[in-house]
């Protein structure tokens, strides 16, 4: 058997290309955040994670440009050795204070943050329990750890409790969940989850990639519920609300210090370039000093939730600026995506295995910088497409 046989047989993309509905790897020629340019044509972007719209903010761009001029393009080494800059540590201190924790560690990507932190914390005799809709980086981080993995049905905290009550008291337990689930847009029930973890002596790790900058005045899920002490470790990313690249983890000083000295994705990766550090720094300062960006984001999110529901679309249980349009069939989802793409909207089609077979959806998401005219146009385009595809 040739190990490459699976590569030669792979044809999912070819079939979609033949039908003219392949939606991935579209090369944009330009972007200003709320709109993108494809083959000279402008589309309204409602598929981005640029929640606060800060990628084009003058302060963020100026901070990145100044750092590029001062430090150059790369640190060319690991934080562990020659790639540690004072600004890395200054950003970590500011992040810890912002998130209400003792310490923080900055990784080169959000994916690396979860891979490194989770795998470092899960030892050979430990058990990690995850929600079945947790992000792929959580799944992979658990696989890299040396412990046993258990999963519970999405948001089924009764099942989580049944799992925990069967684990011996002397065994290490870590529960890992998303704060905001990236496909459905729903928020974890932190009050109930925190109580269960406390009851059974389990530590709680929350991935706030889609929560920081969005919930709790920008400070994430724990702040949203005023439950900072219930979460032991929080992960965040710079590639969304922070308008940059990278990731971070915050928690108790000793926990972060342990991750810093044992997380392989941290130790064996080149450090985050200075211009990404300073872009994230600038975005953090904007979140702290200009709360109107978060307020505008939520105004736009509620406007779109109301609009979609009034039109009759199935948007599930979303509670955030992530608004899924449930379609069902994979090919129908691709065809709906193509209809919207051709008429001026960019969305993200999500099909199996990213979601269960027969539960395909379009993932839409919104920014503080979207104008109401853009959002009304998006709803008008969706209404026409929804009727064409019998979704409303």
Known catalytic residues?
182, 210, 240
3-state secondary structure of 237: strand
CA distance 298 to 367: 9
CA distance 348 to 335: 12
Are the C-beta atoms of residues 243 and 50 closer than 8 Å to each other?
yes
Helix and strand numbers, DSSP H then E, in the chain:
15, 14
**Cis geometry, peptide bond prior to residue 353 (ω within 30 degrees of 0):** yes
Are the C-beta atoms of residues 360 and 350 closer than 8 Å to each other?
yes
SS in 3 state form for 278-332? HHHHHHHHHHHHCCHHHHHHHHHHHHHHHHHHHHCCCCCCCCCCEEEEEEECHHH
- Chain centroid to Cα 315, Å, comes to 19
3-state secondary structure of 199: helix
Could you tell me the CA-to-CA distances from 175 to 99, 125, 164, 220, 392 in Å, in that order?
Answer: 20, 15, 9, 18, 39
Kindly state the DSSP code that residue 228 receives in the 8-state scheme: G
CA distance 184 to 189: 14
Helix (H) or strand (E) holding 103: strand 103-107
- Residue 59 burial (C-beta neighbours within 10 Å; 0-12, 13-18, 19+): middle
Which residue reads 């990278």 in tokens?
Answer: 246
**Residue 53 main-chain phi, psi, to 5 deg:** 70, 25
How much of the chain is in helix, strand and coil states, percent to nearest 5? 45, 20, 40
CA distance 25 to 10: 17
């Amino acid at each position: 058997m040739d190990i490459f046989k699976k590569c030669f047989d792979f044809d999912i993309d070819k079939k979609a290309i033949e039908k003219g509905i392949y939606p991935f790897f579209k090369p944009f020629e330009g972007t200003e955040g709320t709109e993108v340019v494809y083959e000279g044509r402008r589309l309204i972007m409602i598929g981005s994670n640029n929640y606060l719209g800060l990628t084009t903010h003058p302060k963020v761009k100026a901070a990145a440009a100044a750092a590029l001029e001062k430090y150059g393009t790369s640190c060319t080494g690991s934080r562990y050795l020659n790639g540690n800059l004072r600004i890395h540590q200054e950003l970590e201190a500011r992040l810890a204070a912002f998130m209400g924790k003792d310490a923080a560690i900055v990784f080169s990507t959000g994916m690396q943050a979860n891979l490194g932190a989770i795998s470092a914390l899960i030892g050979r005799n430990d058990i990690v329990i995850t929600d079945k809709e947790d992000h792929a980086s959580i799944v992979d981080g658990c696989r890299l750890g040396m412990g046993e993995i258990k999963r519970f049905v999405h948001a089924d905290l009764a099942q989580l409790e049944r799992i925990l009550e069967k684990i011996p008291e002397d065994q290490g337990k870590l529960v890992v969940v998303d704060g905001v689930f990236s496909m459905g847009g729903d928020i974890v029930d932190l009050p109930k989850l925190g109580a269960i973890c406390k009851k059974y002596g389990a530590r709680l790790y929350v991935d706030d990639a889609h929560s920081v900058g969005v919930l709790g005045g920008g400070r994430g899920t724990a702040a949203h519920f005023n439950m900072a002490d219930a979460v032991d470790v929080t992960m965040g990313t710079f590639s969304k609300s922070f308008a940059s690249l990278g990731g971070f983890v915050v928690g108790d000083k000793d926990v972060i210090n342990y991750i810093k000295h044992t997380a392989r994705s941290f130790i064996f990766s080149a450090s985050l370039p200075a211009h990404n550090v300073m872009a994230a720094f600038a975005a953090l300062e904007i979140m702290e000093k200009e709360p109107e960006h978060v307020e505008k984001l939520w105004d736009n999110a509620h406007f779109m939730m109301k609009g979609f529901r009034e039109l009759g679309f199935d948007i599930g249980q979303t509670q955030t600026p992530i608004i899924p349009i449930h379609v069902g069939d994979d090919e129908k989802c691709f065809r709906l995506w193509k209809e919207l793409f051709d008429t001026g909207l960019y969305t993200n089609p999500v099909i199996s295995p990213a979601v269960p077979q027969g539960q395909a959806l379009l993932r839409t998401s919104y920014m503080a910088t979207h104008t109401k005219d853009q959002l009304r146009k998006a709803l008008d385009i969706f209404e026409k497409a929804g009727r064409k595809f019998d979704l409303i």
